[in-house]
Amino acid sequence: MATELWIHRDTGSIRVGDIAVLEPNQTKVSVAPLLTDLLEGSRDHGNGFEWLYLRDLTFGGQPAWLSICFHDGRLEQASWSVQLRDAPMEGGWPTREAIDSELSFVREVLVRDMEIHPGRTPWGEVWSSFDARGFMAANGLRYRRP
Instruction: Tell me which residue range forms the domain holding 45.
Output: 3-143
Question: Among candidates 86, 99, 45, 88, which has minimal Cα distance to 67?
Answer: 45
What is the chain's pLDDT, residue by residue, as a tens digit (146 residues)?
A: 799 999 999 999 999 999 999 999 999 999 999 999 999 999 999 999 999 999 999 999 999 999 999 999 999 999 999 999 888 889 988 999 999 999 999 999 999 999 999 999 999 999 999 999 999 999 999 999 87
Q: Which distant-in-sequence residues (6+ apart) come within 8 Å of 80 by Cβ?
A: 5, 57, 59, 64, 65, 66, 67, 139, 140
pTM higher than 0.95: no
Give the whole-angstrom CA distance, residue 133 versus residue 89. 18
Give me the pLDDT at residue 144, please.
Answer: 92
Cα Rg of the chain (Å, integer): 15
How many helices, marked H, and strands, marked E, lie in the chain? Answer: 2, 12
Domain count, the chain: 1
Give me the pLDDT at residue 23, please.
Answer: 97
Other C-beta atoms within 10 Å of 120: how many?
10
Give me the pLDDT at residue 86, please.
Answer: 86
Give me the pLDDT at residue 1, please.
Answer: 75
Q: Are 106 and 126 in contact (CB under 8 A)?
A: no
